[in-house]
């Protein structure tokens, strides 16, 4: 966790993100800034679908794409839409600790059993489904994945500011991920 930069006061927001929608995201969520009123989205948040995370942000402030592990590889059209049609110039890419997409291969038995018992799948179809898709959604280490996805998105959208962050489920706070 020495790769995380806490944001406990305004001065902790990294200079390149101060007075930007990314900075305001941190002010709203971590620092309890009173909510402003927005007519349109100011940024795109890419974050995990995990149910333990909830952002404290105003209505209309952000587009949010929730995907396992904050993996936006298969949501790129939605990212492009938020940028091109929605006009956003900032992305907060937010992973979280204790993510289920880390070492997802180890959850094969649980996954297959769950589809059989909860969804009525045949075991062989559930197994095939897992084997076809698990490699696409495995993220490895949360921090390394977010940094890699940040680099990928920056190369794809060079004019967009992208901030790599981690949400700690223990304290419900957002942290910058140190990039160097």
pLDDT confidence of 1, banded at 50, 70, 90? Answer: low
**Average pLDDT across the chain, whole number:** 95
Distance of CA 32 to the CA centre of its chain: 20
Contact 160, 153 (CB under 8 A): yes
Segment 126-159, tens digit of pLDDT: 999 999 999 988 888 999 999 999 999 999 999 9
Contact 67, 75 (CB under 8 A): yes
Contact 5, 175 (CB under 8 A): yes
Contact 116, 127 (CB under 8 A): no
From the CB of residue 141, how many other CB atoms can be counted at a distance below 10 Å?
13
pLDDT confidence of 165, banded at 50, 70, 90? Answer: very high
Q: pTM for this one?
A: 0.93
91-109: average pLDDT: 93
Domains of the chain: 4-100+140-177 (3.40.1050.10), 103-138 (no CATH)
Give the Cα separation of 165 and 5 in Å (integer): 9
Segment 36-87, tens digit of pLDDT: 999 999 999 999 999 888 999 999 999 999 999 999 999 999 999 999 999 9
Kindly state the percentage of the chain with pLDDT values over 70.
99
Instruction: Give 132's strand partners.
Output: none
pLDDT of residue 180: 81
């Amino acid at each position: 966790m020495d790769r995380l930069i806490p944001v406990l006061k305004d001065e902790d927001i990294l200079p390149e993100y101060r007075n930007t929608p990314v900075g305001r995201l941190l002010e709203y969520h971590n620092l309890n800034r009173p909510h402003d009123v927005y007519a349109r989205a100011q940024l795109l948040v890419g974050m995990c679908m995990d149910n333990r995370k909830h952002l404290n942000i105003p209505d209309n402030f952000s587009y949010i794409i929730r995907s396992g592990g904050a993996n936006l590889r298969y949501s790129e059209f939605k990212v492009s839409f938020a940028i091109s049609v929605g006009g956003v110039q900032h992305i907060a890419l937010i992973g979280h600790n204790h993510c289920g997409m880390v070492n997802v291969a180890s959850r094969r038995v649980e996954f297959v059993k769950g589809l059989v018992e909860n969804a009525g799948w045949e075991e062989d179809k559930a197994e095939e489904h897992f084997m076809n898709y698990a490699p696409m959604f495995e993220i490895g280490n949360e921090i390394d994945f977010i940094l890699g996805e940040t680099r990928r998105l920056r190369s794809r959208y060079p004019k967009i500011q992208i901030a790599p962050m981690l949400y700690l489920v223990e304290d419900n706070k957002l942290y910058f991920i140190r990039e160097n």
